[in-house]
């Protein structure tokens, strides 16, 4: 009796998941650190709020532009490699077939079987076979600049909004403590959600993001306190 077998895979999420986690983490940490630093320097609530909002807008735009540019560079490299491979398939098809067969031999196939596999795959989709097995390019990891840029900007904005909203809802005397606490909780949740979405262990992810986030906020708050003390 045959039974259905459902085996979930998470690698197809790697493109948007990496950009989203990076954006949200950066939004929380950078904005909360900025708020903690300005608040520790003795600034009033309106100035703290202004700094937080400015950090949110600047950070979201920077994340979108940076992610788009970097992933576009990857996409350009992929297109260049695919164009060279396409020319090679036209000009030297036998060499390309032998090259593909050797890849399969290195993966454990016999020479005869590797040749048969290479022939059949090239008859079906020659460029696709070489892109996947020679260049390591597939639909799963193909660079998508617009998707990465939008995901980073949206995630940054969502993350940065948490400490900014906490400034609006907290008495001025407790802004640093509340913004930091809210941000650490948000980082812990982000670590748990990203680990769950990626199919990895939750506890190490939570500890990793909260530790580095707390370190960044403590360092920035210390700088703000020192400058505030010096300038007063």
Residue 56: φ, ψ to 5°: -65, -50
Q: Which of 165, 212, 224 is nearest to 25 (CA)?
A: 212
Residue carrying the six token digits 């193909």: 142
Could you give the CA distance from residue 28 to residue 180 in angstroms, rounded to a whole number? 10
In the prediction, which pLDDT does 1 show? 44
Interacting residues of 49 by C-beta distance below 8 A, sequence separation 6+: 164, 167, 168
Kind plus residue range of the DSSP H or E element containing 110 = none
In the prediction, which pLDDT does 5 show? 47
In the prediction, which pLDDT does 232 show? 42
In the prediction, which pLDDT does 129 show? 79
Could you give the CA distance from residue 231 to residue 33 in angstroms, rounded to a whole number? 20
In the prediction, which pLDDT does 10 show? 45
Cα radius of gyration rounded to whole Å, the chain: 25
How do the pLDDT tens digits run along the chain, 232 residues long?
Answer: 455 545 444 444 555 566 777 788 889 999 999 998 898 888 888 999 999 999 999 999 998 888 888 878 877 777 887 788 788 778 888 888 888 888 888 888 888 888 888 888 788 877 877 887 777 776 555 567 787 788 888 889 999 999 999 999 988 888 888 889 999 999 998 888 877 776 778 898 889 889 988 898 889 888 888 876 544 4
């Amino acid at each position: 009796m045959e039974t259905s077998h459902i085996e979930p895979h998470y690698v197809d999420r790697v493109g948007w998941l990496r950009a989203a986690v990076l954006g949200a983490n950066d939004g929380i940490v950078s904005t909360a650190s900025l708020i903690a630093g300005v608040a520790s320097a003795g600034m009033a609530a309106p100035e703290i709020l202004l700094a937080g909002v400015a950090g949110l807008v600047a950070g979201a735009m920077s994340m979108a532009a940076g992610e788009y540019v970097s992933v576009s560079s990857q996409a350009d490299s992929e297109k260049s490699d695919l164009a060279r491979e396409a020319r090679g398939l036209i000009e030297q098809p036998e060499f390309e077939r032998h090259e593909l067969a050797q890849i399969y031999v290195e993966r454990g196939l016999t020479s005869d079987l590797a040749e048969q596999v290479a022939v059949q795959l090239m008859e079906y989709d020659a460029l696709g076979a070489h892109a996947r097995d020679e260049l390591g390019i597939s639909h799963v990891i193909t660079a998508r600049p617009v998707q990465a840029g939008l995901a980073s900007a949206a995630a940054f904005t969502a993350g940065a909004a948490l400490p900014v909203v906490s400034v609006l809802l907290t008495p001025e005397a407790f802004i640093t403590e509340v913004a930091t606490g809210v941000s650490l909780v948000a980082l812990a949740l982000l670590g748990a959600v990203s680990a769950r979405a990626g199919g990895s262990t939750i506890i190490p992810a939570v500890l990793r993001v909260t530790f580095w986030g707390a370190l960044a906020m403590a360092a920035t708050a210390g700088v703000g306190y020192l400058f505030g003390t010096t300038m007063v």
